[in-house]
Chain A
Amino acid sequence: MEKSYKNKIFVLTEFRGEKFHPISFELLGKGKEIAEKLEGELCAIVMGNHVSRDSCNALIYYGAERVFLYDSQLFSEPNVINFKHNLVKLVQEEKPDIILIGATHFGRSLAPRVAAALKTGLTADCIDLEVDEKGELIQIRPAFTGNILAHIKTKTKPVMTTVRYKVMNVGKMDLERRGSIIVREAEEPIERNVKFVGKYGVRKLNIADAEVIVSGGRGLGSPEGFNLLKELADLLGGVVGSSRTPVDEGWIGKEHQVGFSGNTVKPKLYIACGISGSPQHLAGMKDSETIIAINVDPSAPIFKVADYGIVGDLYQIIPLMIKEIKARKVNKS
């Protein structure tokens, strides 16, 4: 017998190149939790080019009961209009109550278009989603450059949300779980579209994925300072980050920038070197598990969020740290 559900929850996965972006599984994790509370059915939507069936099965193992699969070259690039057209059509047919989309650049470009087309509300960049006693979704998001958390409610259906990467837990994989994969034909929209004419600078680094980040700011004084930070980062299995100043100065690429107009990160360890701790920088890193700050100025605001701080010149402190770490590594082996 068909199971009956009181609600339907859609998760838009992101299929890139040959695999799913990890946000897809985080969305399923949260989606499953909400589905359980609301007696809802969890569905995953896949729009990609050359998507294997195996990879869709993984979505079922992580909680999807139905997978809507669109496999077409229309989705080989992050062309928002192609995605919007097909997603809006599916939503109009299936009438989900809730739609979760990743707050990646792609998701944040697509979701508002879909919401506007459906004349429904959209909440941006959520860091938590709760179901209240009325069964309504409370969407929690930072605003005012990370200074406040707003709780947002949506009056219209579907309730749409973009969810920040790396804040939701991936649920348990269950290889016994069964579900259905429904193949849908992708439609090419007739509306006017943009033309993708080139692609370059394929990202090697997604700083948000790093467990350890050693970041430098204006206090480095010159681009060469990053060589020192790199040495420390390598020893700790981490990557180099930056405040905005060195990026604007051209000392380092913008993919390294942490903060309000850069990346939001939440590593196990964040080491801020020669960074004052402006509100815009803190907005991107203050949720890190542990923060170490190195700064010559004892009144620098970065010390307010630091677990450990050392007042002093980074050019004296970091070489010493490197020396000690190397010494211990040698002793161990």
Chain B
Amino acid sequence: MALKIIVLIKQVPDIEKVRFDVETGRIDRSSAPAEINPFDLNALEAAVQIKEKVGGHIIGLSMGPPQAVSALKDAMARGADEAILLEDKMFAGADTWATSYTLAAAIKKIGVYDLILCGEKTVDGDTGQVGAEVAEQLNIPHVYYVSRIVDFNEKNITVVSEMDDASYTIEAAYPVLISVTKDVNKPRLPTLKDKLRAMKSEVKVWHASDLDGFVDLNCVGYFGSPTNVHKVVIPQERYRAGKIFRNLDEGLEDILNLLRDKRLI
């Protein structure tokens, strides 16, 4: 048995470095290096672990600007056998609906697959919507918030999904889409040898014309998107008293007063 696995990968800015312009609300993406969305590393690691057990073929799939090739090379260093970047000016400015429409079109073109893995959410757009929207467009089931892969065989996979009231064990027949949380595994770092191999390997780039027959171009990018970001504001941080004490005896009185005011003691 060999499973065909597609891992959805988004390139995002390193969120600890990215700068925001408080006046204009502009996000200066050039201020931070780009990397694979952290939760997508968990998705990729899950795919690699499955492949190690039963054999398989892993495709990393991303939609993004030309620079996203580097994220996909990184994915190949971490175990993807093949990588495809959907890149076209027409795809730019997509919301989650248009993103998932375009990703689903590419997956239809790929044709045969058993499992699609993605991250819980991204650190930039942060909606967590793309996975389920892809699944709906492909007419396959999805399981969200997966913290554990319990078992799998050639027909189905059993996972634990963290819902609000409890953890649920769910069995799903392929094809199915699964979105993982950071608890599912600890992603390994690629070795130098892996990195060198990946540097030489090729990332396929598909433009809008390559998806001919699978997309209606009115449904992609900014113009195909039902939502748009109307405005961005950098939130005013709440006012904080900011009383910092270097010795407890001074601070304790204030804190005890606060606890009393809040009727906690």
Contacts and interface: CB of A to CB of B under 8 A. Distances in A.
A3 interface: no
A148 B20 CA distance: 8
Interface in B108-167: 120, 123-133, 135-137, 139-145, 147, 158, 162-167
A90 interface: no
A151 B227 CA distance: 10
B144 A105 contact: yes
A119 B97 CA distance: 8
A320 interface: yes
Interface stretch (B49-57, B73-81, B190-198, B242-250): B242-250
Interface in B156-191: 158, 162-173, 176, 181-183
Given A121-B97, A236-B264, A193 B227 contact: no
A124 B170 contact: no
A49 to B, nearest CB: 13
Given A121-B225, A292-B255, A104 B164 contact: yes
Interface size class of B (residues with CB under 8 A): 35 or more
Interface stretch (B61-69, B204-212, B232-240): B232-240
B1 interface: no
Contacts of A196: 168-170
A196 B170 CA distance: 5
A106 B232 contact: no
Contact of B166 (A122, A202, A304): A202
State the majority secondary structure of interface residues on B: mixed
Contacts of A328: 256, 260, 265
Contacts of B166: 199-203
Contacts of B2: none
A116 B169 contact: no
Interface string A199-225: 111110010000010000000000000
Contacts of A298: 244, 246
Interface stretch (A5-13, A24-32, A76-84, A178-186): A76-84
B119 to A, nearest CB: 10
Interface of B: 15-16, 18, 20, 25, 27, 39, 95-97, 100, 120, 123-133, 135-137, 139-145, 147, 158, 162-173, 176, 181-183, 225-235, 237-238, 240-248, 251-252, 254-256, 258-260, 262, 264-265
Interface of A: 16-17, 21, 77-78, 80-81, 84, 104-106, 108-113, 115-117, 119-125, 138, 142-145, 147-156, 191-203, 206, 212, 235-237, 254, 260-261, 268-269, 278-280, 286-287, 290-292, 298, 303-312, 316-317, 320-321, 324-325, 328-329
